[in-house]
Structure 1
Amino acid sequence: MYLLGNASIYIGLALTIYSILVFIIGIKIKKQTLINSGKGGVIAVFICMAVANAVMLYLLATSQFQYEYVSNYTSSELPLFYKLAALWAGNSGSLMLWSFFLTMYTAMIVVSRKMQGNPMVPYISSILLINTLFFFIILGFVSRPFALLDYVPAEGRGLNPMLQNPGMIVHPVTLYLGYVGLAVPFAFAMAALILKNVDDFWIKMTRRWTIIAWLFLTLGNILGGQWAYVELGWGGYWAWDPVENASFMPWLTATAFLHSVMIQERKNMLKVWNISLIILSYALTLFGTFLVRSGVLTSVHAFGDSDLGMYFLIFMGVIVVGAIYVLMSRYHLLKRSAGEFTSYVSKESSFLINNLLLVGAAFAVFWGTIFPLVSEAVRGTKVTVGIPFFNTVQAPILLTMMFVMAVCPLLAWQRSSAKNLRKNFLIPAVLSVIGMILMVTLGIQKAWAVIGYGVIIFLFVTHYLEFYRGVKARRKMTKEPVPIALYKLMTKNRRRYGGYIVHIGIAFITMGIIGSQNYDMETMKTLDIGESIDIKDYRITYERLEQRAEGINDIVYADLTVFKDGKRLGVFQPEKVFYGNWDEPSTEVALHSSIAEDLYMVLSTWDENGTATFIIKVNPMISWLWIGSIMVVIGSVFAIWTGRYQNITPKYTGVMKEVA
C-alpha cells in the first residue's frame, strides 16, 4: 500500500505536467491529437488521485498505525465512520481530498458532452491543472500523506473529540466542494479573456457550476454553525473565528457575482466587475487555506501543526498576479463593449448596490480577520478583534441588503416610473409599518430588532406579490387551477423563482439572527441535588449526577427535569465526555427546541458530593436559522435542476486543426 499510495501521487504529478505541456503545445501549433492526449491525461490524473484517496481510506479503516497520518488521527476504538472521516481531519489528508475534487471537476469538464468541440476546453483544463500541480507538489514533497513511522505504535492518538460529530464530518467536505467549485468559473473566465471572448458566453456556461459551488459553501457555513452550536457548549453558532471568516468571505463575493452576472447577461454591463469578482472569490478560497494551514491566527478549526502557510501564500500571489495581468491585458476589450446605466431607480442599480454591500461586508470581515497580524507587524502587539466589532459592522450592512432584496423584485429593468413605484411599494410599506407598530405593542422595544423585522415583513410581502401577480397573470391566460399555475410559473423560470425562495430563506435566517442576538437570556448557577434554576418561564430541577462508560470513554451526565409554565417537558441530560486517548473532554449540550426558542443546557463543573454548576440559556428564534437554511438549499437546487445550456454554442471559432 505504501508503494501504491506514493506511486499514485508521483505518477499523477508527472501526468499533470505532461497534460499541461501537451495542451500548451497543442494550442500553439493547433494540433488536435495533442489536445486529445491532454484530455486523456486529465482523466488519468483524476484516476491517480482517486487511487491515492482510496488507499488512504483503506489504511484508515484498517488502523495501519505504522503510517504517521493514520496514527495521528485514528484509533482502534474509533467507529468506522469516524475512521474514514479522518481523511480530512489532518493536513495532508485534507489536501488529498481537495486535490480529488479539483481533478474530478477538471475531468467532468473534459468528458462533458456539452463541452465537446469547445475550443475553450484546453485553456480551462490547463488553468485547472496548474492548480492541481501545486497540490501534487505539496503532497509529493512537503506534506507527504503516506509517510511511515520508525516504529509501529500499539494504538493511535484518535480523532479530535470536537470532530466526532456528524455535522462536523460533513462540514469540511461541503466547504471543499464549494472552495474547489469556484476554481471552475475562474478558469472559464481566464480562458475567455485569453481567447478575447469578452461576451457573456463564459457566464452562461458556468452558471450552474457557480450556483453549485455557492450552494456547497452555503451548506459548509450552515453545518459549521450548527456544529458550533451543539458541540462547543458556548451557546452560539457563529463566533467570527478566523477560519469561519475564511469560508464566509468567498461566500459573500460569490453571492455578489451571482447577482451581477445577471446584469451582464441582460444589459451587457459590469464586465470588468464580474471578472474581478470571480478572481477575488477564488483568491479568497486560497486565502482560507492559507489561514487554516499557516498557524498565523488562532482558531479551533485550524491545523495547528502545519507549516504550509508560506507555500499557499506564494501560490495565491502567483494566481492573483497572473489573473490581474490577463484582466488588464484585455481591459480595453471589456470596456469597449460595455453598456451603461440609464437610471438610478432600476433593477440593475439595485443589483449594483447589493454588490457593493456584499463586497463591503467581505472587506470588513477581511480587515477584522487580518487586523491582529497588521497590529503585530506595526506595533509589535497582536490586538484581537472580537465579536462586538463584527456584529456592529455587519448588522447595518445585513439590514440594508435585506431592504435591497425586498425592493429589487418590484423595480423594472432600465427605469422605474414614479407611478409604478407608488403602485408597487404602497401595500408592502403600509404592512411593514403596521407590523413594526404591532411588535412595539407586544414588547419588542429594541430599535434594531423592530427595524429588522419591519424590513423582513417588507421582503415577505414584495416576494409574495411577485408570486401572486405571476399566478394571476398565468391563470388569466390559461384558466389553470392555482396550484398548477404556480407550479408551471415556477418551473418555466426556475432561476428567478429559485432565487426568490433563496431570498425568503435568508429572511428566515435573519429572523433567527435578530431574535437570538437581541433577546437571548443566560444564567449560570451552582446547585445541590433537588434545587432548581428559574429562567424566563422555565424551571430546571437538578435531579442527579451519574457516570457511565462507553468503550474507553467515560461520560459524566446530569438529569435535569424541565418545566415550562408549570408543564413538564421531560428529563434532559447534558454531558461531559472524557476520552481515553485525548486530554480534553468535550461538551454535549442538552437542547429543547421549539419554533419560538431553544432551551440550552450545559453541565459545566461538579464536585464529589454531587454539587454541580450549570449554564442555562434561552435562545429565541434559533429554529428559524435552520428552517431558513433548508429553504436556501431548496431554492438553490430548484434553480439549477433542469441543467440545460439553452442551445448555447461556442462563439469562438478557432477550432483546432490537425497539422500534417
Structure 2
Amino acid sequence: MDIALGRTGILVATVAAGLGVVSLVYSIVKESELARRQGRYFLVVSAVGLLLSSFAMEQALITHNFSLAYVVQNNSKETPLLFSITGMWSALEGSMLLWALILSLFVVAMVVVTRRYAEEKTTSWALVIAGTVLLFFVALMVGPANPFIHTVGAIPADGQGPNPLLQDYPLVAVHPPMLYAGFVGMTVPFSFASAALITGEDEGFWLQRTRSWTLLSWTALTIGIALGAWWSYQVLGWGGFWAWDPVENAAFLPWICATAFLHSSVAQQKRYSMRVWNYSLISAAFALTILGTYFTRSGVLQSVHAFSDSNLGNILIIFFAAVVVFAVALVAFRAEKMRAGRKVKTSLNRETALLVNNLLFSALAFVVLLGTTFPLLVQIASPEPVTVGTPYYDSFAGPLGLLLLFFMAISPVVPWRSSTFSEIGDRIKVPTVAMVSVLVLSVLSGEYRPDILATFALATFALTSAVYQIYRTTLSIGRKEGYLRGVFSKRNGGMVVHVGVALIAFALVSATSFGHEGEVRLERGQSAEFFGAKVTYLGVQNVVTPAKSSFEANVLVNGVGPFHPAITQFGTYTEAVGSPSVDVMFSKDVYLTINNAPNLASAHPVITIGVIIQPLISWLWVGAATMGLGAALAAFGYPQRRRKSGRRKEGGVHENLVGDPPLYGESPALSHQGYLG
C-alpha cells in the first residue's frame, strides 16, 4: 500500500509538473487564457502528488514497513518515533523527496501570490522556470533516486536503523528541513529575475516582488547553517562548530551570494544601478544550491555530512552547467538594455560602498569555492587524493571578514549623494570612540596579537554603529509615528542583523583564540582543576533503552551537575559513538567527553575525561538568533509611511517619498528601508 501510494504520488507529480510547464509555455506563445489557468492548476496538482508520496513514506517509517527497502536501511523497530519521522531525510532518496516537496510548496506559493498578476507574461515565465526546476527533481525520483523500491528477497523482521549521528540529537528534525528551505527558496527570485530578462520587463519590478522571497530563503539558510554548527558542536564530540567541510561550504556559498544580493539590490531600487550585479548574484545563489546538491549527493567529496555514493553526480553537474549557461546567455541577450542603467559613481557615497561590499563577498565566495573544488580538479590530473585544510580558508577568509566588518559599520551611514571624509567622520564618532576604547583595554589587559585586536576593534565598531543606527531610527520615527513603530520598523531589521554578526565575530575569536583543550585522569570521587573549571568524577553507569546502549560518566563542574558525557551504541551498528556533555555558561562553556573509559575490573579504575574550555561560545548562538530576528523584522516590521504627494525620479526610477524622517538629513526618497545593510 505504501509503495503503491508513494509511486503513484511521484508519477502524478512528474506528469503534472511536465504538463504545467508545457501548458504555461503554450499560453505564452498562443496567449491562451485557458492554457495559463491549466498550467497553474497542474503545478498545484504536482504538489499534491508529492504530499501523497511524503505521507506514504512517513507512514512506512512510522509503521516499520520493511517491505520498503528505504525503511530497512534507515529504520528499525527500536527507532524512537521522532527519529522514525526524520528518517525520511536521513538518506539520499528520502532527502530528495523532502527537497522536491519543499520546492513544490514554494511553487504553489508562487501560484497563489501571483494570482493578481496571472495574465502577465513575466509571471508565466517565472512559473515555467520554477516548474522546470521542480520537474527536474521529481523526475530524479522516477529513476535514479526512487525512494519507493521494494525490498529484494524475503522481507526482514527488522531494519538496521538510521545512521547513529542522525538519531543522537533532536535537531535532525529541524536543521535539514530549514537548510533545504533556504536552498529551495532561491528558486523563486531566480525564476522572477530570469523571467524579467526574458520578457524585457523593467528589472526593478522583479526586485519588488522577490525581495521578501529572498529574505525568507536567506533567513532559513542562516538559521539552517547556525543549527548545523550547533548540532556539530553538541553531537560530534570534537568541541568545534565549523571545519570548512565541503558540505558546510556548499551551504555557505549560496548564503554569501544571497547576502551580497540583499545589500546591492537596494542600489537598483534606489538608483537603477548594479543591475548586472544583482541578476548575477541571485543566479549564482541559485546555481550554487544545485552545486551543493551535487557535492552532497554524488559522493565525490568526503564529508561527515555527505550521503553515500550515488549515480546522481553526472545528472546534477549537467543540470548545474545548464543553469549557468542559461543565466549567462540571458545576461548576454539583454546586455545592451542592462548597460543602459545608471552607472555607479565611484565617489564617497552609498553606491560605492555597496560595490566594494559586493567585491568583498565575491572574493570570499571565490576563496571558498576554489578550496572546495580544488581536490576535484586535482583528481582529473592525478589519482592521489588532495585535501584543502582550515589554514587555507582562515588565511583568506579572516582578512576578508575583517574588511566586511568595517564596511558593515560604514555603509549604513554613507549617504547616497557624494560626501566628504569629514562628514562621514562626524557620523561615526560614537562607534569610533567605542572601538578605540576596546582596543586600548585589550592592549592594557595584555593582548598584543594583531588579528585578535583587529577583530575585537572592528566587531565593536560594527556593533556600536548598528546600535547607534537603531537608536537614531527609533527616535526619528518614534517622534512622529510612535516609538513602538520606531523600534519595530523594517528599517531597523538590517541593523539588528548587523548586531548578530558582530556578536558572532566576538564569539568566534574568543572561542578559537582563548580556549583550552586537555584531559584529566580521575578515579571515582577525585577532582581536578582545569583552567578555572573544577571537574569532579562521581562514577559511571550503563543506560539501556530499546534504541541504544550508553556508557555514561557522572561529572560535576564547579559543583554543578551532574553532566553525562557518554559512549553510545545504536541498534545494529557495532561502532560506538561518543556523546559530549556541555556545561553552558554566559562567559564560557565547559565541554566534556570520555576519552578513555575506565577498566571496571581494576582495583582503582581510572577514567580519562576530555575537557575543552570555550570562552563566549554561547554568544555564537545568541548572535545567530539575533540575525534571524533582524531578518524577520526586515520582512515583517512596520513599514515606512508614505506621503500621498510628491514623486521624484532618481536615476530613471520613480519613487514615492517616504514619510519617515531620514537619517542624517538624507533625501527622504533615498533613505534605506528594511534591507540587510
Question: Where does residue 441 of structure 1 map in the other structure?
Answer: 444
| TM-score, structure 1 normalization | 0.93
Question: Where does residue 560 of structure 1 map in the other structure?
Answer: 555
Residue segments in structure 2 that go unaligned for 5+ positions in a row: 643-677
- Contact kept, 8 Å, 1:372 with 1:384, in 2: the verdict is yes
Question: Where does residue 522 of structure 1 map in the other structure?
Answer: 517
Mean alpha-carbon deviation: is it higher for 420-429 or for 356-365?
A: 420-429
- Contact kept, 8 Å, 1:208 with 1:643, in 2: the verdict is no
Cα deviation, residue 534, structure 1: 2.2
Question: Where does residue 612 of structure 1 map in the other structure?
Answer: 607
Structure 2 distance, partners of 1:84, 1:645, is: 43
- Contact kept, 8 Å, 1:606 with 1:613, in 2: the verdict is yes
Structure 2 distance, partners of 1:451, 1:130, is: 47
Aligned amino acid, residue 21 of structure 1: V
Question: Where does residue 147 of structure 2 map in the other structure?
Answer: 145
Cα deviation, residue 642, structure 1: 5.6
- Contact kept, 8 Å, 2:274 with 2:344, in 1: the verdict is no
Question: Where does residue 410 of structure 1 map in the other structure?
Answer: 413
Structure 2 distance, partners of 1:48, 1:23, is: 19
Question: Where does residue 314 of structure 2 map in the other structure?
Answer: 310
- Contact kept, 8 Å, 1:168 with 1:224, in 2: the verdict is no
- Contact kept, 8 Å, 2:296 with 2:306, in 1: the verdict is yes
Question: Where does residue 79 of structure 1 map in the other structure?
Answer: 80
Mean alpha-carbon deviation: is it higher for 500-509 or for 588-597?
A: 588-597
Aligned pair partner of 2:251 in 242, 247, 250 = 247
Kindly provide the CA deviation profile for residues 183-235 of structure 1, in whole angstroms up to 9, marking residues without a partner as x.
00000011000101143100110011000000010011000000000100000
Question: Where does residue 583 of structure 1 map in the other structure?
Answer: 574
Question: Where does residue 656 of structure 1 map in the other structure?
Answer: none
Kindly provide the CA deviation profile for residues 304-363 of structure 1, in whole angstroms up to 9, marking residues without a partner as x.
142211110111111221221122111111101x11223431112111111111111111
Q: How does 1:498-513 map to 2 (within 5 A)?
A: 498-513=493-508
Kindly provide the CA deviation profile for residues 11-56 of structure 1, in whole angstroms up to 9, marking residues without a partner as x.
2212222111111111111111111111111111111111111111
Kindly provide the CA deviation profile for residues 399-454 of structure 1, in whole angstroms up to 9, marking residues without a partner as x.
11011001112211131224422311333223311221112222333221111111
Q: How does 1:309-388 map to 2 (within 5 A)?
A: 309-336=313-340, 338-388=341-391
Aligned pair partner of 1:176 in 158, 175, 180 = 180
Aligned pair partner of 1:461 in 460, 464, 468 = 464
Question: Where does residue 100 of structure 1 map in the other structure?
Answer: 101
Question: Where does residue 486 of structure 2 map in the other structure?
Answer: 489
- Match of 2:249, SS state, is helix
Question: Where does residue 47 of structure 2 map in the other structure?
Answer: 46
Q: How does 1:54-65 map to 2 (within 5 A)?
A: 54-65=55-66
Residue segments in structure 1 that go unaligned for 5+ positions in a row: 648-660
- Contact kept, 8 Å, 1:343 with 1:415, in 2: the verdict is no
- Match of 1:238, SS state, is coil
Cα deviation, residue 630, structure 1: 1.0
- Contact kept, 8 Å, 1:501 with 1:632, in 2: the verdict is yes
- Contact kept, 8 Å, 1:597 with 1:622, in 2: the verdict is yes
Aligned amino acid, residue 565 of structure 2: P
Structure 2 distance, partners of 1:84, 1:471, is: 45
The structure-2 alpha-carbon separation of the partners of 1:376 and 1:577, relative to structure 1 and needing over 3 Å to count, comes to same
Cα deviation, residue 116, structure 1: 3.9
Aligned pair partner of 1:621 in 616, 622, 626 = 616
- Match of 2:67, SS state, is coil
- Contact kept, 8 Å, 2:88 with 2:95, in 1: the verdict is yes
Structure 1 distance, partners of 2:32, 2:291, is: 37
Structure 2 distance, partners of 1:605, 1:537, is: 23
Q: In percent, how many aligned pairs have the same letter?
A: 31
- Contact kept, 8 Å, 1:168 with 1:223, in 2: the verdict is no
Are 1:572 and 2:554 an aligned pair? no
Question: Where does residue 297 of structure 1 map in the other structure?
Answer: 301
- Contact kept, 8 Å, 1:520 with 1:618, in 2: the verdict is yes
Question: Where does residue 647 of structure 2 map in the other structure?
Answer: none
Question: Where does residue 652 of structure 1 map in the other structure?
Answer: none
- Match of 1:334, SS state, is helix
- Contact kept, 8 Å, 1:175 with 1:216, in 2: the verdict is yes
Cα deviation, residue 8, structure 1: 1.6
The structure-2 alpha-carbon separation of the partners of 1:448 and 1:47, relative to structure 1 and needing over 3 Å to count, comes to same
Are 1:16 and 2:11 an aligned pair? no
- Match of 2:342, SS state, is coil
Q: In angstroms, what is the RMSD of aligned CA positions?
A: 1.9
Question: Where does residue 5 of structure 1 map in the other structure?
Answer: 6
- Contact kept, 8 Å, 2:144 with 2:311, in 1: the verdict is no
The structure-2 alpha-carbon separation of the partners of 1:456 and 1:446, relative to structure 1 and needing over 3 Å to count, comes to same
- Contact kept, 8 Å, 2:121 with 2:199, in 1: the verdict is no
Cα deviation, residue 490, structure 1: 4.0
Cα deviation, residue 146, structure 1: 0.9
Aligned pair partner of 1:125 in 120, 124, 127 = 127
- Match of 1:142, SS state, is coil
Structure 2 distance, partners of 1:586, 1:9, is: 36
Question: Where does residue 638 of structure 1 map in the other structure?
Answer: 633
- Match of 2:203, SS state, is coil
Cα deviation, residue 645, structure 1: 13
Cα deviation, residue 646, structure 1: 10
Mean alpha-carbon deviation: is it higher for 84-93 or for 607-616?
A: 607-616
- Contact kept, 8 Å, 2:520 with 2:610, in 1: the verdict is yes
Structure 2 distance, partners of 1:199, 1:141, is: 38
Cα deviation, residue 78, structure 1: 0.9
Structure 1 distance, partners of 2:442, 2:164, is: 43
Question: Where does residue 651 of structure 1 map in the other structure?
Answer: none
- Contact kept, 8 Å, 1:198 with 1:333, in 2: the verdict is no
Structure 2 distance, partners of 1:71, 1:379, is: 38
Mean alpha-carbon deviation: is it higher for 410-419 or for 35-44?
A: 410-419
Are 1:536 and 2:531 an aligned pair? yes
Structure 1 distance, partners of 2:346, 2:91, is: 52
Q: How does 1:207-222 map to 2 (within 5 A)?
A: 207-222=211-226
Structure 1 distance, partners of 2:173, 2:392, is: 30
- Match of 2:230, SS state, is helix
Structure 2 distance, partners of 1:636, 1:426, is: 27
Cα deviation, residue 460, structure 1: 2.4
Aligned amino acid, residue 157 of structure 2: A
Structure 2 distance, partners of 1:56, 1:297, is: 28
Cα deviation, residue 643, structure 1: 9.8
Mean alpha-carbon deviation: is it higher for 161-170 or for 262-271?
A: 161-170
Structure 1 distance, partners of 2:569, 2:18, is: 48
Cα deviation, residue 472, structure 1: 4.1
Which portions of structure 1, spanning 4 or more consecutive aligned residues, are displaced by more than 6 angstroms?
A: 643-647
Kindly provide the CA deviation profile for residues 604-642 of structure 1, in whole angstroms up to 9, marking residues without a partner as x.
222423322221010011010011111111111111116
Cα deviation, residue 541, structure 1: 2.2
- Match of 1:120, SS state, is helix
Aligned amino acid, residue 69 of structure 1: Y
Structure 1 distance, partners of 2:476, 2:93, is: 57
- Match of 1:616, SS state, is strand
Cα deviation, residue 130, structure 1: 1.0
